[in-house]
Every structure is written in C-alpha cells, then in structure tokens.
Structure 1
C-alpha cells in the first residue's frame, strides 16, 4: 500500500474507475437491464428476449455511449482504454465488478494523476504487460511492486533521480524502458544501464536528463545486445560535437538514435571513431550570428543641426545584445566549424517595440527585461555599433566554447534574450578658453592705443584664424535605449538540431519626438528675447562700453 499522505497507483486507478461510472447508467447492472446481465449476447435458444417496460436493449445502451452528443458520452480527453471499459461494462458487466477488473488489463495508462508512489497494489494486475505512468510525481520505483509480466514501462516526465530500487528485482521480460525528462545524471546511474539488469531491453529512452559522461555511458550500454532504439537527446553529453558519430560507431546494432534512422552510409562515415576516445572532449561550441536590423526610423531630422547653434549635434548608432552562458569565449570569424549546434541565428531583426529602457550593455546596467532570475549564469554580448540605414547590416559572427555542459543545457532550455539598443550621443560646440579670450582682448586693446594701423590687421588675422580653425565639439555620455527585447527559443538545439533561425519582430516602434526647425513666429520671439537679454547687461559691462565710447569720441575731437 502507498505511504500515508502519498498517492499510489492503485488509489489513482480506483478514482479513475469511479469517474468512469462503470456501475452507473448506462453501464453496469441495474433496473435498466433487469436480469439480463448474464445473457446480453442474446438468448441461447435463438429467441430474442422480450424487453420489459423500463428496460433498455444493449444496442440502445451502446448508442448512448458512442454518440458524442449524448450526455453519457466519454469526455474528449478520454482514452480508448476508457471507452473500451465502458463498453465492456454494458456488454459484460460482471468482468469489471470487484477484483475481476484487474484481470482485464494488459495495458494500464495513468497519466498526469499526481501519482507519487508505485505501491504493491499494482501486483493485482496479474496480466499487465504495459504500464504508462508519465507526467506524475514519482521519485523512486520499487521493482518488487512491479508485475513480472511487464514488457513496457514508461516513466517519462517524473522526478526519478536514482535507479537503485528499480534495478533490485526488475521485470525480466522488459523490452522498453522510458526514463525521459527525469533527474538522472552521470556517473552514478550509468552502472544500472547494463544487461545484468535489462537482458531483453530493445528500446531505451534517457532523453532530457543530466548525463554528461559520453564514454562512460556508452561503455555500459554496449552490454545491451538487444538494444536497437536509443534516445539521448536533451542530455548535456549530446552537445559534444562528436556525440552522434561516437555512438553510431560504438553501438553497431543500433537502428534508431534520437528518432533518426542509422543507415549504412552513416556507419561508414563514422567508422573507427569509437577507438579515438581522445577526440571526446566535454565541451561544446556554439556559433552566434546576427544578420540585419530593419524598421528603425530615420533619425536624420534631428541629427544634422547648424554648428554654432544652441542645439546639440546628435549622432545615433545601433547594436544587438544577446545573452550566452559559457566559460571560454573565442572569436573565430575566420574559423571553419564542424556541423554542430549553432545558436541563435538571428536572420533579421525587425525593430519595432514600445519597450522603453535606459539599460546599458557590456559593462553597463542591463535592460530590465534581462534582470529576471535565471537558472544559469549568462553574460551579455554586444555587436559593434552601426550607423542608421534602411537595412543595418550587423554581419556579426562569434563562436563560443562552453565547458559547463550542464549550464549550457540549462541556458538552451531557457532560451536567450535578444535586444536592439540605440545609442544617442549629444555633442555641443566648445566655447573658446576664457584666458585665451582675455589675452586676445588685451593685445587688441594695446594695438588700438599704439596705432590704429595695426588694429584692422590684427582683426583680419583673427577672422582668418577663426575661419581656418574647425569648431570643436564636446560629447555628453552616451544615452542608451532598448528599442526591442525578445526571448529566442533554443530548446530545439537540445534535440540535436544544428540550426536556429529566428526573425525577431518587436511590433510598432514608439520613437522619441523628432526635433523640428523653429517656425517664423518662434524665431521672432527668440530675437526679441535676445534683445531684452542684451539690454539687461551687468553694470560693470555697461561702464566698460561707456568708457570705450568716450575714448572714441575724444579721439575724434583730437583728429
């Protein structure tokens, strides 16, 4: 029996039978069938038994079960097994009463029922050959509670982390063992996957666990002489570049690997690889390439302004940021990489979004969309900034080498964050140095006192110098804004796919309001304001101007 407070297989089975209503109308024995429960197939004498008032014929009852518009029809999520049981409860109800129901089952399917334990009540199914317990909460399986007649055991999507209890007294005739999407890992569980425990195993599913030791696992699996179907995709070891070739050459009797047929050409291609174990390195290489950015509005309306005006000169550049989880990163723009997992290939980024972020990348604060907690540690990488164009060609390619295969698996399962970032720089005209202005003014004043002939020459030189000297600009710190952020799914790379090509469409871009040239009325108002500002000069400056005017008039009188 199941432990206290734990849901066992038998309890889930009985609850399922109760919901099927095998003893309720139109199934089972009741007033609607009278005393005909034992002879529903017809009268042995060949005479049709008269249907009494209030009773229903077997055909009418079966019609109530099969008509999808009937209130007694099986719900859409019901299985064929459920329908078969209900029909049996109409035609031969005595077979599904009490303990007799256990003898009916050769296949038992209990999926997603919250089962936590495989209890000994399962031994009542004396003819059971197939047991499917997927999508439950099973963490351990006691093999003593499994019927010895089992040929198929499916435990996909549970929480199994240890095979020791399962391998204590495993069913001797088992041909398929499904352990995909559990918590098994190397090297502690490799030793339980041998012919000593599973001599008749033909099919084995270990997908999406945490096996990392490719050589060690293969050495154990090679003892399974009847193994023909193997699924290992989704494990960290499947990210190793030589993964498939090594398995194909190491297991010569294998027919299907990761749902892909193993043909003679592939065997010939990888012949001899099993002996070159020095090529098996626990690291994976991932190539990230970013293509083009489209859809960014032209910022030229606010980019080119007159130098010397009060408004700044604004320049824009655009880049793409992405996350990657890895230890060793190498730039290999010219290196040819074998056909392994490549991710993500962002073919086109249609930059349209209303995500307003002032986050910065690569040494700066990350955008808010990237700050959510993750199960892997990732770094943010940034493509070189490019100026605006109708189609901004990033032409970016980088190879990453990851030695933490478990962390890489977690990263690929979660996906990566891709963002398009705009960088705006405001540049202002640099005013002349105040000390230089004072020296220039002093020299100009002395020139006027010594003689009027040198004054115009000096002024002419100053004008020429101003014309020749370009206007210097002082740039403010860059202002970064995230135009669009999207998560790119990379889980297909765990299923031994070689490529992920994604077009990120961020929707409609809400751009900042462009700077418009001032209207005529605004110019008039601005000129008037400047005139008022000039009249409000400091007292000291007005006195200097008054002395200059007095000096000039005195000179005029002497002349």
Structure 2
C-alpha cells in the first residue's frame, strides 16, 4: 500500500507533527498539509521523491530546520499564509537549498525587505512562477516593476504572465535598488455627497435671531508616517488643532519624512536604522475635508496623500478597513450688544421711578439723523457667533483588503442610508405643546378640590384635554415621520496605491533624491 500512493492530502485536520511514518511512502510525489498546526518541518522525515509540497496556512515562523536537507527533486513549494519575515528566512530561499524549484508561493507572508528577498530569489536557476501578493512590500510603488526586472528568468508573477512589453517598460529598475525604499504612498479622494436633507427646509417661520448656519465635512482615519515633532502636536485632543496640523503642513511633513527615511537607511541592507535620531513612526491620523454649505450635491474634491514606511502596519490597517463619517457643524449668530443700549436703560428706569417729564429729554433729544443712523444699524446688525456645535450624522465602513491582494485602486459609492433625524422645528413644537398642556393641568387642580359639580366638570374638561393632547401628539409624530422620509446619503470615495508604471517614471521621481 505504501508503495502505491503518489499523492497524500491531509487538509485542516489539526496536524501538528510530521513523523517518520511518511518515509514509508516510497513513491510519494505530492504532499499537501494545508490549514494545519505545523510549526516545524523535520526534513529528515520527508520522502526524497517529493516534487510538490504544500504547507499553506500553518504555523511556520522560520525555515531553519526546513532547509538543512531539503528534498532534492522538489519543484513546487507552497509557504503562503505563514509568519515568515526574517532575514534568516530570506537567506534560506536560495539555490543552495532549492536547486530544482520551479514554482514558489510566498503570498500573504510578512516580508518587508523587497530588495533582499529578490536578491535571494534571483539565485534560483529554475524559478518560473512566483506568488508574492499579500506581503507588505507589495504595497510599495516599486512593486511589481522592480520584481519583474530583478528576476529575468520569471515567466509568471502573482498569477499573471509577464509580457515582453512589461519587461521593456520596467527595464533598468533593478539597477536602482540602492535608491528604492519600501514605503507606500496611498491617495484618498473624497468626491460628491448626495442625499443630505436640507437643514433649513422646515424653518420658514423661524425667528430672525439667532441666525443659524450649517456646514458639512467628511472625516476619516488613515495610517501615515509621523515624526516626534508632529507627534506632540497631533496628540492634542482639540479637533481644530489636529485639523490644522494634518492639513496645513501635510505636504511639508510628508517630504521631510521621505528625506528622513532615506537618510536613516543602512546602505548595505536598506533597513531602517532605529538608533538614528530621526525616527519615523506610523500612526492613525484623522483627516478632515474642507467645510461646505448644504446643497443637493456637495462636491468636496478632497485629495490627500499618505506616506507610510511601516508596511506591515499598513497591511493590517487595510485588512481592517477605513471608517468614514459625515459631520455637521451648526453655528448660532446673535446681534452684538449696541453701545447705545446700556446708556438708554438707566434713563428709562429713572423716568419710570420719578415720573418727571424733564427726564424724558435725554432719550428724545436725538436728532432725526441719529434716528436714521440707528435704523441703519438695526437693519444690518453686527453678529456674534456662538461656539460651533458639531455632531456626527452617520458613518460607514469601507473594506480595503483588496489592496493587499493585488488591486491598486478601490473606487466605491458609500451608502450611509437615510438620515432618520427629526427637524428641530418639530421637536420644539412638541416640547412647547407638552409644556402648555402641563401648565393648563396645574391651573385646573385647585378648582378640582371644590364641590362635586366642579369636580365632574373638571374631570370632563381634563378628559377633553387628554384627548386633545393625544391628538396633538399624534400630529407631531405624523409630522416627524414625514420629515424622516429621505433618500439615502451617498459619498464617493477612492483609495489608490501609487505604483510606478515604468522605469522612466521611477527615475524621474527618484532623481531629485539622487542629486540631493
């Protein structure tokens, strides 16, 4: 029986140990152990006849013991979805261990150093098919161009055939390895917002003051680089401080972060030197668009770029997704106190107390010109604004995991649903009505303590009032239900990972840093 089988598949069976029992399969060529709990591969227990070994989604964290005496005929090795990331793992992926390897799957691992990994893989003489998507370094602009040019023997990358035109476009990128930094550049664009209800549509009979103005903006959080200087400012809890810091100095900070990162790279490995004084740390920062007044279609046209050097952190962030929120800012404006009013009030009080006619002259002594000036002042009063009142109207979660899986762009129309918010006029009407009914009830109570006839009348009246109250409540609820019937609120959002389309484009972007 052992000499009969050439393929053995044990998938998702909680296998944790590979013992020497496998050596009994003398003709075994394909071994599939996906989705198990294997943390170590004792190569002495693997049949030398193996050509295909699949170890996807196990608990491998190192390749040390796996490469001491690997199967010499192995052509396919699947290591995807394992915690492989170290330089030692990279050094074990060379022709010294895998001389006949044709296909290698390293997808969804944790490799971040693209130049070092490609340098090791370039030694595999028979490698034709390679899968790298899902690794943090694939989020960088240099991927996949740098990989295509660094591995000329490769025919297929991430499930797609490499064309001659693609090789031509990326020719020369491999020679720029000393300038390539594994950092990602993500651009987030917020476009048009539709479906927000008009906040002033129900305020036709509102008083002149206070003057109420509404504005709207979009907020979301994204991962970005952060230096110690910006860390202190961004740690403030004040919203406006964060907004100014992230908006006003974002371009300068991003450029300084680029220069800082390049200055602290070790020339031999391209790894960030944490001992240097200039540190770059990734953090989740909140970005806010500019504020717009209400319209049926508000076009924010807000584009913001985020530079991230922590590619592992970016991979986790993208897999978790992005939360987008629509915010409303309400400002109440009141007439400023006039300079004439404080002087007029004492004179009016004197007149009321003493009753003297002579005291009326200070108030009436003003000329017609002064009166006309006062009228002008009243017609266009100076307004004083209260502190803005902000509230969240709704939020939505946008999955971004496809960017980790190889997509360069996520273009989505976010649907936040209808905003079920009662208008303030309806709420005020209901409160005033309830107050009035309560006061009428209290006024009737003393009379109820009188004779029986009075009590009966009052009982009848109170029943009538109760019916009226119920009717009014029904009306208010009906009005509010009508106001809730709104169309869904939608927001246009695009998240794009910047990718080099050619070697010439990369050269133009990197040339300023090379000359500096």
| Offset at residue 401 of structure 1 (A) | 0.8
The equivalent residue for 1:235 is: 135
201-210 or 112-121: which moved more?
Answer: 112-121
The equivalent residue for 1:218 is: 118
Q: Does 1:381 pair with 2:287?
A: yes
The equivalent residue for 1:84 is: none
Q: Give the distance between the partners of 1:450 and 1:317, measured in 2 at CA.
A: 49
Q: Deviations over 1:286-309 (max 9, x none)?
A: 100011111111111356665555
Correspondent of 1:468 among 371, 374, 377: 377
Q: Give the distance between the partners of 2:360 and 2:31, measured in 1 at CA.
A: 113
Q: Is the Cα–Cα contact under 8 Å of residues 303 and 314 in structure 1 kept in the other structure?
A: no
Q: Is the Cα–Cα contact under 8 Å of residues 106 and 127 in structure 1 kept in the other structure?
A: yes
Q: Give the distance between the partners of 2:99 and 2:427, measured in 1 at CA.
A: 84
Q: Is the Cα–Cα contact under 8 Å of residues 328 and 400 in structure 1 kept in the other structure?
A: no
Change in 2 beyond 3 A, CA 1:238/1:319: same
Correspondent of 1:160 among 51, 60, 63: 60
Counterpart secondary structure, 1:183: coil
Counterpart secondary structure, 1:293: strand
| 1:506-525 equivalent positions in 2, closer than 5 A | 506-515=416-425
Counterpart secondary structure, 1:122: helix
Q: Give the distance between the partners of 1:493 and 1:454, measured in 2 at CA.
A: 75
Q: Give the distance between the partners of 2:346 and 2:383, measured in 1 at CA.
A: 23
Q: Give the distance between the partners of 2:52 and 2:428, measured in 1 at CA.
A: 80
The equivalent residue for 2:329 is: 423
| 1:107-126 equivalent positions in 2, closer than 5 A | 107-126=7-26
| Offset at residue 126 of structure 1 (A) | 2.0
Counterpart secondary structure, 2:171: coil
Q: Give the distance between the partners of 1:478 and 1:120, measured in 2 at CA.
A: 73
The equivalent residue for 2:305 is: 399
| 1:161-176 equivalent positions in 2, closer than 5 A | 161-176=61-76
Q: Does 1:180 pair with 2:84?
A: no
Q: Give the distance between the partners of 2:363 and 2:386, measured in 1 at CA.
A: 41
| 1:92-103 equivalent positions in 2, closer than 5 A | 100=1, 102-103=2-3
Q: Give the distance between the partners of 2:75 and 2:141, measured in 1 at CA.
A: 30
420-429 or 207-216: which moved more?
Answer: 420-429
The equivalent residue for 1:326 is: 224
Higher relative contact order (CA 8 A, sep 6+): 2
Q: Is the Cα–Cα contact under 8 Å of residues 347 and 359 in structure 2 kept in the other structure?
A: no
Structure 2 unaligned blocks of 5 or more: 228-236, 244-281, 440-516
Q: Is the Cα–Cα contact under 8 Å of residues 344 and 363 in structure 2 kept in the other structure?
A: no
Q: Deviations over 1:309-368 (max 9, x none)?
A: 5xx332222111111111159xxxxxxxxxxxxxxxxxxxxxxxxxxxxx9966689xxx
| Offset at residue 284 of structure 1 (A) | 1.1
| 1:278-293 equivalent positions in 2, closer than 5 A | 278-293=178-193
The equivalent residue for 2:411 is: 501
Q: Give the distance between the partners of 1:401 and 1:517, measured in 2 at CA.
A: 46
Counterpart secondary structure, 1:299: coil
Q: Is the Cα–Cα contact under 8 Å of residues 240 and 280 in structure 1 kept in the other structure?
A: no
| 1:271-310 equivalent positions in 2, closer than 5 A | 271-302=171-202, 308-309=208-209
| 1:44-193 equivalent positions in 2, closer than 5 A | 100=1, 102-193=2-93
| Offset at residue 243 of structure 1 (A) | 2.1
TM-score of the superposed pair, with normalisation by structure 1: 0.62
Q: Give the distance between the partners of 1:402 and 1:518, measured in 2 at CA.
A: 49
Structure 1 unaligned blocks of 5 or more: 1-99, 330-358, 366-375, 530-559
| Offset at residue 444 of structure 1 (A) | 9.5
Q: Deviations over 1:428-448 (max 9, x none)?
A: 444446644446759999996
Counterpart secondary structure, 2:66: coil
| Offset at residue 234 of structure 1 (A) | 1.2
Q: Is the Cα–Cα contact under 8 Å of residues 289 and 398 in structure 1 kept in the other structure?
A: yes
Counterpart secondary structure, 2:31: strand
Task: Pick the structure with greater CA Rg.
Answer: 1
Q: Does 1:313 pair with 2:211?
A: yes
189-198 or 488-497: which moved more?
Answer: 488-497
Q: Give the distance between the partners of 2:291 and 2:363, measured in 1 at CA.
A: 52
Q: Give the distance between the partners of 2:59 and 2:84, measured in 1 at CA.
A: 9
Counterpart secondary structure, 1:103: coil
Q: Give the distance between the partners of 2:305 and 2:298, measured in 1 at CA.
A: 22
Q: Deviations over 1:152-187 (max 9, x none)?
A: 111111221100011011111110111111111142
Change in 2 beyond 3 A, CA 1:127/1:392: same
Q: Is the Cα–Cα contact under 8 Å of residues 120 and 145 in structure 1 kept in the other structure?
A: yes
| Offset at residue 216 of structure 1 (A) | 1.0
Q: Give the distance between the partners of 1:271 and 1:508, measured in 2 at CA.
A: 52
The equivalent residue for 1:59 is: none
What root-mean-square deviation, in Å, do the aligned CA atoms of Structure 1 and Structure 2 show? 3.3
The equivalent residue for 2:316 is: 410
Across the two proteins, how many residue pairs are aligned to each other? 383
Counterpart secondary structure, 2:330: strand
TM-score of the superposed pair, with normalisation by structure 2: 0.67
475-484 or 206-215: which moved more?
Answer: 475-484
